[in-house]
Amino acid sequence: MYEYTSVNFFDMSVWRSILLVGVLFCSLLLANILKNFIPALKKTLIPNSVLGGIMLLIASTICYYTTGSYLFNQPALSANGSGIATLEMLTYHCLAIGFIAMTLRPVQKKLSRDRYIDILDSGVTTIGGYMIQGIFGLAITIVAAFIISDFAPGSGVLLSFGYGQGTGQALTTGKNFDLGMGLNGTYASFGLAIAALGFLTAGIVGVFYLNYLRRKGEIRVFDKEKSSALGMNEVISENETPMNESVDKMSIQVAFVFVAYLLAYGLMYLIGNVILGGGSNLIGTIYGFNFLFGVIAAVIVKGVLNFLTKKGLVRYEHKNTFLLNRISGFAFDLMIVAGICAIQVHVISNYWFLLLLLGLVGAVITFLYVRLVCKKVFPDYEHEQFLVFFGMLTGTASTGMILLREADPDFESPASENLVYQNFPAIVLGFPLLIIATRLYTNARNIPLAIALLAVIFAIFVALNLFLFRKFIFRKKTVGADNGK
């Protein structure tokens, strides 16, 4: 017999999740206020979400060392002491929601053949960045595994996910290492700490390089005080439904995003629970790639809508780029602040030197690699391309856009377009790295396997760069052959 359980709205269980999310957004507002009133902070270009997350992390850590429990595990913010788990859940879901919203955006114009080549090269550059981060990260942690007892030699791949892909993937991959090592939160916090260092690298090193370019006269830094308001054509295009419909336009965009996410869950359930079986060791890996299934589902939803439009069954374009950008921005901001707050400092306190070493090496090799590629492959807009890719390969796509906006406020260069469309070739080209990461965390203590997979990553990196620098490699060979005649 069905029994109705009455809900008392004054009960703390009704409010815990709201209070937790409210604290996260309070930190965003406080970070925004501090950046507006402290010039030094404003000049760093560190995203508000990163600054807010760091402030809460400091408060949470102080709370841990004074009370024995982190701020978000306090009774007012958590059910059964699981506030950190709630933060991890937010980080996990916001990653996929952000990617889905970005993928659903309508294509504004057809691209030329040269632009397709630039986009392909951009995707190769992205994966090349992941690979070189993985090479150096694995080399460091393999050496560390010989020194530190019971340390995961393959955990250096977290440099690729923390720097290259940001908080969400760093958390997911770190938790998989925890499962492989039989731990609870150590490598999740390790990955999140690397991601936080990546954001700081983007904000500090990126700004330093921006000022260097400005002093040399290579770029003109955007003056935000003189910025103009958005025009209506930037908010809504001619063939879209009007803003004053009976259903709010934002509601429609959110509906599309969650329809795609429901489809993504269906795909993950089909593969993980039905085809592989619920007891498979790979089920965690399948659900760990929720962002990838989200992108696939978004492409399907987008394709169905485009098909219905061509057939005349749908009269207007219902997807709105401006609003979908706002949804992805919201999701990524929440993801970042929640992810940083979820770091449990005490479980990684023995690895601070290793973390700082990985962060420093990651910053240097990412800077040098992206700088070389942009100078050789994208000479017409090398500085804009560098800023957007350095920001992305140390933070997220939104971090790259923040840096780019300082030098190219109207997005006149193709760099912003490259950043958007490179996701498709990057997903295909980056799939081997996901498989390698799976092998590393399912065999988390296997040093010989980590060394072998390091060699595989190096081979892939060489192959990618042979393609990326093809014009220079084959041109030199041709010139040499002609001289021989």
CA trace torsion 137, 140, 146, 150 (10° rounding): -40
Q: Is the pLDDT score of 375 beyond 90?
A: yes
How far from 176 is each of 85, 151, 191, 262, 282, CA to CA, in Å?
15, 14, 11, 23, 11
Instruction: Break the chain into its structural domains and give their ranges.
Output: 13-220+248-473
pLDDT at 155: 95
Q: Is the pLDDT score of 377 beyond 60?
A: yes
pLDDT in tens, 147-181: 998 999 999 999 999 998 888 888 889 999 998 89
Q: Is the pLDDT score of 220 beyond 70?
A: no
pLDDT at 465: 95
How far is the C-alpha of 45 from the C-alpha of 405, rounded, in Å?
A: 11
Reported as a pLDDT band with limits 50, 70 and 90, residue 483 is low
Q: Is the pLDDT score of 81 beyond 80?
A: no
pLDDT at 80: 66
